Every structure is written in structure tokens, then in C-alpha cells.
Amino acid sequence: MSAGWASAADLAALVRRGARSAEAVLADALERIAREDPALHAFLRTCPERAEAAARRVDAQVAAGEDPGPLAGVPIAIKDNLCTAGVETTCASKLLAGFVPPYDAEVVRRVEAAGALVVGKTNLDEFSMGSSTEHSAWGPTKNPWDPTRAPGGSSGGSAAAVAGGLVPLALGSDTGGSIRQPAALCGCVGLKPTYGAVSRRGLVAFGSSLDQVGPFARSVRDLALVMDALWGLDPADMTSAQPAWPAEAFSAAAGGGSLEGATLGVVREYLELTLDPEVRAAVEAALERAQAQGARVREVSLAQTALAIPAYQVLANAEASTNLARYDGVHYGARAEGADSESLAARTRAAGFGPEVRRRILLGTFALSSGHYDAYYLKAQRARRVIRADFLAALAGVDALVGPTSPVAAFPLGEKVADPLAMYALDVFTVSTNLAGLPALSLPCGFTAAGLPVGLQLTGAPWSDPTLVGLAAAWERALGLDRKPRSP
């Protein structure tokens, strides 16, 4: 059984009962990455020594009659904006080249505590600023379904690693759709949890009121398994909370979810804004399948949808301007020569940041500047409150809001890089849930005529994450899609 195409649940079961060693699973995964990843560029680096040490620990626990955890021996990839002790963490930026954190992000610690094997760090848009994984200092990642197309972003490396069968699981971050959009374009499952449900400690900050860590998997069952390991209070993260969920809430929901009797709110504005008719047709066919399973479907409105992109761009860029001010060439990261502290910082940032990051810092600094703060930043905060109220009203009486995750399927590499506004518009269905702090999940629901996957987004009320996973699992069973792309 290949470690890449096997499910995480099946691999863990084999390792836990001693039918296969974690070391053998790891060797298979590393061999596949070495063979297949040059065509995808999903990984920036692997960390075999760390993974081998973890595999030996798992095998020793099994030999001693101990349970190494629900993710025992499962290879997992980590987006390169999550800190890993002893392993370079660059955020795909020249500015952080060579930076080796002294500690692990809390989510990395948790998946390893559950028995997972961290095999490497995945590519991303620099500092998570992008929607195609083309804004990386080390080159773009390619889509496993068609290597001439983008995998989405910013967590495109994690999505491609899972969709391409390199690993069963990966972690990403989602500030405005950076898990869900690449999950949709690469044909895997991705979840942005409720803000606060998963620790952000050790995540390199982009937009601190928007960022959230979440998983990628090829099935809802596997996604539930890793979510059971991730969620819960982290006392060292002031944005962390302890949801009132029982242990293994996500696995229980995935195993027992049903569409029968569920009420689904189809967002009218999302279907109207869908640019690709094949995407809309796939979503509508999936809704028909849900109705055949006993779900009730009714139309709802998110009247403030038009506010989402402008409000998000102001707030996210303002927070990015503040968060990225720490990269001054003094404390850590790259350092250019300068005659004084001002020229040192200016030259370091000019040489280290790519064009998209510089653009967003400038926009955010402008929005926060004297004379513009009220007109832009405060107005965007008011829009954010309106958007959240709009969502809560639409969610009243429904189990989830549904619509396309992306208005288009995977687009050709290079097509939108020169047009930032066109790139930003791709996040029209995803940024609003970050603004509102709501959970949202992307589920593969069909394919275009060219064989490109289409994603269906389910959005729930605050802290309804297990409910979303249960609905998605039932919908996945009803759709019965093949998740294996042709080899790149």
C-alpha cells in the first residue's frame, strides 16, 4: 500500500496493530516525493532525519504494546509558514532564507504527538500573500491535475502534495481562502476552522485577526482524523478557545453524518458571480444529489457580498503592514548593508520582499496612515461587522450555506499574475468567512469537461465545525468521486 495514495486512517490502523512499520511507510513516502515532486514543486524541503526519528519512536511504542496515537506513522506535510524546530522556515521569501526556528508551532507539536511523521515543508505564496502559489521566491507549484495550471494559493504546495498522492495529509493556513481555494482547484478537502478553534502559535503572522490553521486531506474521514488532533485550547495563544466539543468530535461526525433532513442555504449571489458555467453546473448537480439524499435546499441571500473583497484587502493589508514591520534586517532573517538603521531596513526589505508582498505592505501602510485611517481602516472594520451580521442572518434556519468555493476552475500558470485585481477577485467566495470568523470547508463536487476539479464550499455558524464535517462526509459518500489525478 503506497503511503501517498493510502488513506491516513488505513495507514494509521496498519501501523498501530503492527502490520506495517512507520519506518517502512516513511521510506515509501520519501521515495515518492523524490520521484514525483520535481514535476510539481509542492515541497520546498524535506526533513528526513526528523521524520525518521519520529518513525522510530512510533515503532518503539508499538513494539512495547503502547498506542502511538490516531495518526501513527502517517506522513504529513507542513506549510512553510509554520515553525518547525531545527528545520528551515522561510514563508517562501528570500527575507527569511536560512531562518531556523528554535521551537515548533503548536499544531506541529500536536500532530506529532498523535503519531504523525512530518516529512517536509511545502511551497506557498510569499508570506501567504497570493491565490496561485506563483508568488514564491523559489518558483511556482503546479497543479497535479494539469501541470500547466496553478494549484491555487496561498497553500498551493500543501494542496498539491495531498492531491498528487505525495502525502495523505498536510497543514496549511487560511487568511482569506488559502486552504479552501487550493483545495478546490486541486480536488482535495480543506477546512478553515472557526477562528480560535485551532492554535495559531508558531504560525508566521499575515493578518492576525484573520489567520487560521487547518488541514488538507483526500477524504473527509482523514480530515476529521487530523482535526481531532488539532483543535482545542492553547494557553500560550491569546486567540485560542476551548470549544464545547467532545473528544474525537470530528471523527464521530464524519462517521455519522447524514444529508437526510438537513437544510442547505444556496447563496444566490455566489451562483450569480460564478464566472465558469462548468463550475456552476457541477455545484448545481451536487445540490441535486443532496436533495436525492433527503436534504432540503432553499435560496438565501448574502446581500453584502460586494463588500467582502474591498474590506478584506484593507484589513488584511493593514495587518500585514504591521506584522511585517518586524523584518528590519536586525533581529533575524536576511540583512543588507546600510550606513544607518533606516537604510539598513530599507535595503533589507527591498531586497528580501517580492513584488506582491511590497504591494500589500504599501497598501496597508497607506490605509493606516494619518488622514486615511478613518476613511479606509475604520470603514472596513464597520463593513466587517455588517458582513458577519449578514452571515448570521442567512444561517438562521439552515445547517450550512453552500455555493462554489472558487468562481473558476484551475487557471493557466501566468494568466493572472500581471493583473492583481483579477487575482484578488478569485477569493470573492472565501474572504468573507475569514472576516466573519466562521468555519468553512471545501469539498470536491465534480469536474469540468477538461477534467479539472470543482470545489463546493460549506459555511457554518460559529463553532459548528463538526456539523460541517458530518454534512461533507455524507455528501462525499453520495457523490462518489475519483480523487486520483493522472500522473504529472
Active-site residue identified among 21, 132, 158, 178: 178
Active-site residue identified among 79, 121, 142, 192: 79
**For residue 109, what is its C-alpha cell?**
507539536
* Cα(200)–Cα(337) distance, integer angstroms: 33
Taking CB atoms within 8 Å and a gap of at least 24, the contacts of 479-486 are 479/286, 479/289, 479/444, 479/445, 479/446, 481/444, 481/445, 481/446, 481/447, 483/163, 483/187, 483/188, 483/218, 483/219, 483/444, 484/5, 484/165, 485/144, 485/145, 485/163, 485/164, 485/187, 486/145
Q: DSSP E strands: which ranges in 117-227?
A: 117-122, 169-174, 189-192, 212-217
The answer to whether 484 is a known catalytic residue is no
The answer to whether 154 is a known catalytic residue is yes
* Cα(353)–Cα(363) distance, integer angstroms: 15
Residue from 158, 186, 176, 128 nearest 44 by CA: 158
Residue 315 phi, psi dihedral angles, 5° rounding: -70, -45
The answer to whether 416 is a known catalytic residue is no
Torsion, Cα of 308, 179, 447, 422 (10° steps) = 40
Contact present, 237 and 231 (Cβ < 8 Å): no
Active-site residue identified among 154, 406, 432, 464: 154
Residue from 261, 128, 192 nearest 457 by CA: 192
Q: Could you list the active site residues?
A: 79, 154, 178
